[in-house]
Structure 1
């Protein structure tokens, strides 16, 4: 699958209707392997599993999201010239759905072209009745990291990247990698879920006012969360000295997830002596991925990420 580029002006010609379809087992195409996270029903499944489907939004570029994820899985993008590094990718979606294309498959192709084996994660959503509630996406992220590590080998470099609410998933994995959020199932669960590095793209980081993304907090914690829950699920209050190195990127003109989410997290990581780096772009808005960053300062972000990975010794 090749990334299709269109003039920026065409991106404004968006229609207002969307269509839904049953989930495709090979949503990125037949050349990409799909790995189920769990050998049976995921932990804490409700009596009736959510009715999973894909919604495709019209427009000049393919734009799909998965809602009511019932079968969490990884779609694998294998590089032509592997460097030995692997990347778990958590797309955004405000914890209401999981974006497939603009913060998933397109970004996966970019990093696979640089030699990383990329695993795009469709994670379960906390509002769909799973027993673990807000820890449900973390269950999937931990399990995914362990399966990748098992597949890649004990000495492999395995990191995580997340976008928007997926940045919260990735950040929670990086900072709560050893939380016992599900009962071990097999040998994979004996492996560490600590990523070797974390890249957080315009992350939803805080659940506390006044910089919170209200939609993500509502979907993660419910309509009336306690202050204790808000604090417990705010990334800046999870910072710990043994966290992996973190790279954060955010646009200053982000009107959905204020840049203070990243600034507060950066300050907390530095206070905990975690190796951390941040890049702030004057323009980019929210959810730019690759397609909406074209022609803006934020378009540099994949190159910045790859340069950081090489400098840290995680990629060649």
Structure 2
């Protein structure tokens, strides 16, 4: 109740606060909220110009990726009949770009059609000269979670039922949010930043977890830490080293034949979470590869993954 009252007050205080509307390429449907009223912390590096790349795929579906993100934002997908739950989706892209359709909007439409209010995060990339360096995406994720809670009354959500769902490198960022939610990685801007950035649950789908050998995803590690990071830096940004008992419950999902992000990433994190006493569920598909999203799953075991997420969330009181 106290968190709900705080959220109501924050929503009133924030009216018009996020009016920042930069000139960036449209890649959305519905309402967009920009995270930073006056632009990202530290300003935008001069070399960056945000743009959208349209990618080919065998399904004939939109497959857009946001490159050189300069205006981090949330896109809201509203259900016809809200059930009070909320999901923050963080798409992947190896920290090189943000895969907006396949791992963002498509999942958002699916879960919104089942009652959740869904927010898709378009976040900055860590290797592009931001003042915060590798913490820039975490700044965006923390701010996104707080803004979602600040909008609880406006959006008809329960601020105690906000799940983060991340895919691939977005799974790494979702894991950072679930582990480092308490860290002050940016200076507070407004009343939204008085709210908790801790998600109530974390669903990590074929996540990048470790930056240590031999199971690191080389592209994500390079884009996060540079071409030759030290062993200490690699370990410090690996999720398995960051777990602690105050984390929210976690769901891990992976395909055993993932050739891009080895399944050992989820296995390593599962083991660390168990040692820390964090509630964790793990589902491994025999086949499925990497980046399966929701496309082309009909008639395969992978088609069950959205329902597995909902069953897990229902069991935790987070999703209906």
Relative to the length of structure 2, the TM-score reads: 0.89
Conservation of the 8 A alpha-carbon contact between 1:283 and 1:296 = no
Decide which moves more: 145-154 or 270-279: 145-154
CA apart distance, 1:49: 5.7
- The CA deviation string for residues 61-87 of structure 1, in whole angstroms up to 9 with x for no partner, is 211100000000000000111111111
The structure 2 residue matched to 1:262, chosen from 266, 271, 279, is 266
- 1:315 and 1:46 map into 2 onto residues whose CA distance is 37
Partner residue of 1:8? none
Distance 1:128 1:251, change over 3 A: same
Partner residue of 2:63? 63
**Structure 1 alignment gaps of length 5 or more:** 1-21
Return structure 1 stretches of 4+ with deviation > 6 angstroms. Answer: none
- 1:177 and 1:120 map into 2 onto residues whose CA distance is 18
Distance 1:292 1:226, change over 3 A: farther
CA apart distance, 1:47: 4.5
**Structure 2 alignment gaps of length 5 or more:** 1-22
Distance 1:274 1:156, change over 3 A: closer
Partner residue of 2:197? 193
Conservation of the 8 A alpha-carbon contact between 1:165 and 1:216 = yes
Number of aligned residue pairs: 292
Secondary structure of the residue aligned to 2:216 is coil
Partner residue of 1:36? 34
How well do the aligned residues superpose, as a CA RMSD in angstroms?
1.3
Partner residue of 1:149? 149
In the TM superposition, 1:43-82 aligns within 5 A as: 43-48=41-46, 50-59=48-57, 60-82=60-82
Secondary structure of the residue aligned to 1:66 is strand
CA apart distance, 1:296: 2.6
Secondary structure of the residue aligned to 2:127 is helix
Partner residue of 1:233? 237
- 2:206 and 2:270 map into 1 onto residues whose CA distance is 12
- 2:296 and 2:125 map into 1 onto residues whose CA distance is 25
The reply on whether 1:280 has 2:281 as its aligned counterpart is: no
In the TM superposition, 1:154-169 aligns within 5 A as: 155-169=159-173
- The CA deviation string for residues 213-248 of structure 1, in whole angstroms up to 9 with x for no partner, is 000000000011111111110000011001000000
- The CA deviation string for residues 155-208 of structure 1, in whole angstroms up to 9 with x for no partner, is 441110000000000000000001111000100000000000000000000000
Conservation of the 8 A alpha-carbon contact between 1:284 and 1:292 = no
Secondary structure of the residue aligned to 1:170 is helix
Relative to the length of structure 1, the TM-score reads: 0.90
